[in-house]
Structure 1
Amino acid sequence: MEKSELIGQTLIYEYDNGESYKLEFEESTLVWTCLAGVAKGHSGIEKYDFVEVASEIIFISWLEQSREVVSIVFNLNTMKVFCSYVYEINKHQWKGKIISFKRSKG
């Protein structure tokens, strides 16, 4: 998968702790929205980096305007998600599942 294939796609995922997010991919930015959990209703527009580490396994990372670092591996084969999230000196790791990965038809 090339980064260009993400443009116009929407990915929804949920961590084991019940937090869920929606990512909407544009050419150089993504829009994230928290759908459930302590940050419900919060969203942002961030520049992101992308690499396909293996077939249908993608690594995406971004630095939020609040200086939070988010690094996520999405395994589209197994529909699993793994995240490392760093804010200031606190690091968190979460895992969960991909709920949907849809391509917008334009």
Structure 2
Amino acid sequence: MYALLWLFDTLVQILIYILIASAVLSWLVAFNVVNVRNPIVSQIGEFLYRVTEPLLRPIRNLLPNLGGVDVSPIILILLLLFISRLLHEFVPAQTYGVAG
């Protein structure tokens, strides 16, 4: 069971890094620091969009319009960390054979 918890934590950390990279890239594109016509930047942006958009879209649908501010990545990161901490509360007690 501990191996599954480790795998989940690792996937959560990778997803958090991808969410941060997606947010940073969107800022760099918005401020014209990087050019989206560059094929490498375009491929990276497309990858980040395809990975993050299915997770962020339901959150965006629930949030009110905040203008140009998108807080859905922050909410998703907090939700992932909450689920991870919640699993850590229950799994170690069963993993190590501690009654309770």
- TM-score over 0.5 for the pair: no
Greater RCO structure (CA 8 Å; 6+ sep): 2
Larger radius of gyration, structure 1 or 2? 2
Structure richer in strand, relative to its length: 1
TM-score (normalizing by structure 1): 0.23
Structure richer in helix, relative to its length: 2
